[in-house]
Every structure is written in C-alpha cells, then in structure tokens.
Amino acid sequence: MELVTKKKLLLYSGDSHPELAQEIAEHLGVSLRQPNLRTFANGEMHCRYGESIRGADVFIVQTHAGSGINDALMQQLIMIDAAKRASAKRITAVCPRYGYARQDRKAEGREPITAKLVADLLTAAGADRMMSVDLHTGQIQGFFDNPVDHLIGLPVLLDYLNRNCDVADLVIVSPDAGGVKGATKLANHLEADLAFVNKVRPKGTANQVVATNIIGNVAGKRCILFDDEIDTAGTIVAAAELLKQEGATEVWAMATHGVLSDPATERLKNSAIERVVLTNTVPLPSEKQIDKIEVLSVAPLVADAIGAVFEDESVSEIFGGENQK
C-alpha cells in the first residue's frame, strides 16, 4: 500500500499585531486560525488550538514591540509550546520585529545578552525555525542553532522612493556609524550619494544622543535618514536638525520598525523632518498616527517567505537573493 501524505499550512497569530497576520493570510490565500487565547484573573496566559494540528506546518505570527513586549513574547512561547505538544510537524516563529534585538552584545560588564536569551527561549519552547524582518544586527542569526529566515524591508522602501521622488537628487544618510552598512545598500540601489551623522551617547544614558557633525556633502540635497528602527526618535530628530544646519533642502526619515516609544511622536511632529516612512512590522495605534507618518506593508514579503518555507523552496532565491541576509 502506498502512503500518501498531505501537507498542511496553518497560520496563527498572537494578540500583538493581528492586522498584519490577517494581511499575510490573505496574501497566502489561507484562513488565519484561532489559537483561543485568554488571560486568567491572575494575569497568566493560556491557549488551546481548536483543531488538530498533528503533522501540520505551523506558523505563529507575533511581533515583539510596545509596552506589552514581554507579554507578546510570553504569549508566543506559550503558543509554540502548545503546538509542539499537539504534534505539529514543524513550527516557525514569525517575529516581524524581533524583541530585545539591540541587546545583542555586552557593551559593559555585568550586562545580559538578551537577544540570545530570546533565541534560547523560542528554541526551548519548540520553535524549529525563526523568521524576522531587518534584525538589528545580522549576527543574531547565529544565536539560533535552527534555521533563521532574515528578510529585509529594503525593496518595500526602495519602491516607495522610486515612486515618490526624484532619486537623482537624494543623499542617503545613516543617523550613526553603526547604520552605514544598511544605508550604503540603499544608496547603491539608487545610485545616490551617502553620508552619515557622527553622534555620541552620554555615558549612563539609554535614550539620549548628541549629533556632532555630518560626514559627507548634504548641502542643497533632499536627505533620507535611513535606519532599521525608530524608537524614541532622539537619534533621528537630532540628525535632522544637523542636516538642516548643513544646508539640506528637505529631510525624510525611513525605517522598517516604527516602535515610536514616547515621546517619539511628539518629537517627530515638532522636528525638521518633513516625512516619516515606516513599515507595519509594528502596529501604529491611532494616537500615534500623525500627518507626517506613512506606513507601508511587509505582508507580501512575509507571505512569500512563508510560502517558500512551506514548499521547501529557497527563500533567498524567490527574492533574487536580495531579500535575505
């Protein structure tokens, strides 16, 4: 007797960004399933899958951001554990924004490497694979022994620039020396000039920066400040002020992850930045939706990657080698 197996893709979402998960499901042409999440009176979380997931390829979407980042992470861990115990064939943790990514090394003594801890937690819970967009640093992939699909949002942002401005007049600016690699890649695609902002962070502070000078020529140019995420917006706003002082005609800010922790929205509203372009890896609540901000969707990007993983195809090849690093 010949045994015929049937592959089954099941997509679930936690509570942190169900709108993105629903959009991913629509691009995949599948239903977004319900994990039946609930929180007990004492704050403990619980889930129970309402259908058999035995032998299925399970993708659990949960972005790690906002004031509830720890709850989001714990919820995803619980969902992974439940799927493992329900005999899922393979479990992929889809983390559009990977939590604690900036804590990827010991900058000083007696500090944790929390990005590695998150990787260990996801693996211990039962994740066979992790998928994310624009990790803060590529070496986070090495924190996992299992496969990591590191997608990049660059094509989404690149397409926006090609549609909305004269790329011949642009200078791509990294807000600090650490972001030069990403800014260089964008500048190369656009055949644009490159500059970066030299900054210092006062010792003992986490969210304060001082922009000191610009390396590169920005006078008379439209400048695109490009980074992987905007958190409190201190870096971006300080850089924009300096660019204006150096003669930039217009300043835009672009980032994959719009974390926008307070007081980011107020800072951006009152800054020299004319336009802020983000992707929807992180939800943007209504109180943070200001006129300057435009949000682009990464759902097609993530959906294509999920489809490739499910079909056991190369994720990098379906994007021509450009969308994975």
Peptide bond into 263 cis (omega under 30): yes
pLDDT band at 321 (very low <50, low <70, confident <90, very high): low
The mean pLDDT of 287-303, rounded to a whole number, is: 97
More reliable by pLDDT, 7 or 224? 224
| 180 to 26, 125, 144, 190, 227: CA distances (angstroms) | 35, 35, 25, 15, 9
Token readout for 264 is 């980011």
Q: Say what the pLDDT of residue 176 is.
A: 83
d(CA 127, CA 93): 6
* H-helix or E-strand spanning residue 163: helix 154-164
Q: Would you state the CATH architecture of domain 9-152+299-318?
A: 3-Layer(aba) Sandwich (3.40)
Asked if the model's pLDDT at residue 139 lies above 60, the reply is: yes
More reliable by pLDDT, 41 or 213? 41
Phi/psi of residue 45, nearest 5 degrees = -105, 155
Write out pLDDT tens, residues 154-202: 999 999 999 999 888 899 999 987 788 899 999 999 999 999 998 666 6
Rounded to the nearest 10°, the torsion over CA 255, 121, 128, 125 is -130
The yes-or-no answer to whether 9-152+299-318 and 154-296 have a common fold is yes
Phi/psi of residue 37, nearest 5 degrees = -80, 145
- Helices 180-190 and 154-164 meet at what angle, rounded to 10? 50
Q: Say what the pLDDT of residue 179 is.
A: 85
pTM: 0.93
The mean pLDDT of 75-101, rounded to a whole number, is: 98
Write out pLDDT tens, residues 211-249: 678 999 999 999 999 999 999 999 899 999 999 999 999
Q: Say what the pLDDT of residue 80 is.
A: 98
Alpha-carbon 203 to chain mean position: 27
d(CA 17, CA 61): 8
Token readout for 10 is 């099941």
Contact of 271 with 240, CB cutoff 8 Å: yes
Alpha-carbon 295 to chain mean position: 13
Write out pLDDT tens, residues 247-289: 999 999 999 999 999 999 999 999 999 999 999 999 999 999 9
DSSP code, position 143? G
What is the CATH topology of the domain spanning 154-296?
Rossmann fold (3.40.50)
- The β-bridge partners of 295 are 278
d(CA 165, CA 232): 27
Write out pLDDT tens, residues 111-122: 999 999 999 999
The mean pLDDT of 78-94, rounded to a whole number, is: 98
The mean pLDDT of 284-305, rounded to a whole number, is: 97
Write out pLDDT tens, residues 10-40: 999 999 999 999 999 999 999 999 999 999 9
**Residue 287, class by beta-carbon neighbours within 10 Å (0-12 exposed, 13-18 middle, 19+ buried)?**
exposed
- The β-bridge partners of 10 are 58
Q: Say what the pLDDT of residue 204 is.
A: 61
Asked if the model's pLDDT at residue 4 lies above 60, the reply is: no
pLDDT band at 316 (very low <50, low <70, confident <90, very high): confident
Catalytic residues: 199
d(CA 137, CA 96): 14
Asked if the model's pLDDT at residue 206 lies above 70, the reply is: no
d(CA 208, CA 204): 9
d(CA 62, CA 282): 10
Where along the chain do its domains lie? 9-152+299-318, 154-296
